[in-house]
Amino acid sequence: MKLLLDEMHAPSIADALTKDSLDVVAVASVADLRGVPDADLLAHAASSGRALVTENIVDFAPLANQWATEDRPHAGLIFTNPKRFNRATLAYPGNLMAALRSFHDDPPVDGQSWIWWLQQVDH
């Protein structure tokens, strides 16, 4: 499974997961993707076969619903809760990396156009 990390998530997460043989790209590391409108970002993720990892449910949930009514598939949305994966804590980004590794190793979803709320991994 290929992933695209939205801008709120640190590029170091993509770097670390890539070293673990996961295929992860951070929006913040790609000049052409930084600051693009959410609809364009979802379109890019879909065309590149990447599930988008974001905490921006306010914008992406309605986009996903719109795409569903248009019968327009995407590669998946993984929503992260900012309270669970709080960027201001010492647990971040390790807790997000662990959860994404677990999701990647044993995906609870398959196919296309799915939406998943990422959970923290119990240690």
Residue 88 has pLDDT above 80, yes or no: yes
The pLDDT tens digits for 6-42 are: 999 999 999 999 999 999 999 999 999 999 999 999 9
Residue 44 has pLDDT above 70, yes or no: yes
Domains of the chain, first to last: 2-117 (3.40.50)
Q: Are 23 and 73 in contact (CB under 8 A)?
A: no
CA proximity to 3, closest of 106, 122, 111, 101: 101
What's the Cα-to-Cα distance from 80 to each of 8, 32, 39, 69, 115, rounded to whole Å? Answer: 10, 23, 18, 24, 11
Question: From CA 36, how far away is CA 11, in angstroms rounded?
Answer: 17
Is this structure's pTM higher than 0.85?
yes
